[in-house]
């Protein structure tokens, strides 16, 4: 079973984390939440916002392609990168993943201005 490595994030996961034995087929957001890593997920995992945006730093090619709906939403995500995904839509396959949770979401950016 693959492992999920989360790079340090100042608020959500200050020390970073490694989650071992992650079941294949589970979405990244659910795994994070099940391990008390409180990533934002304003739409409750329904692919209707960008608050659960993550950047896949290792293992991106093991994920299924994003749907058109996910791609359209990602175009609005803060800090978009070529390996960005919505964690509610990206399902873990057989390879280990390393993810970065962006410092801000659109919700945070609006609240701070």
Identify the CA nearest to 74 among candidates 37, 99, 105: 105
Identify the CA nearest to 78 among candidates 108, 98, 41: 108
Q: How many C-alpha atoms does 111 have within 13 Å on its Cβ side?
A: 5
**Mean pLDDT across 91-107:** 88
**pLDDT tens, position by position, 56-82:** 999 999 999 999 999 999 999 989 999
What backbone phi and psi angles, to 5 degrees, belong to 25? Answer: 95, -10
**Mean pLDDT across 85-97:** 96
pLDDT at residue 113 above 50?
no
pLDDT of residue 110: 41
4-111 under CATH 3.40.390.10, yes or no: no
Residue boundaries of the structural domains of the chain = 4-111
CB 17 within 8 A of CB 110: no
């Amino acid at each position: 079973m693959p492992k999920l490595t989360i790079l340090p994030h100042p608020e959500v996961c200050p020390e970073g984390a490694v989650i071992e034995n992650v079941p294949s087929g589970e979405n990244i957001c659910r795994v994070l939440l099940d391990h008390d890593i409180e990533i934002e997920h304003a739409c409750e995992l329904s692919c209707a916002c960008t608050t659960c945006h993550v950047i896949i730093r290792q293992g991106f090619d093991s994920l299924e392609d994003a749907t058109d709906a996910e791609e359209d939403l990602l175009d609005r995500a803060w800090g978009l990168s070529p390996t960005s995904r919505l964690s509610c839509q990206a399902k873990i396959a057989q390879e280990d993943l390393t993810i970065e949770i962006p410092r801000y979401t659109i919700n945070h950016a609006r609240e701070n201005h």
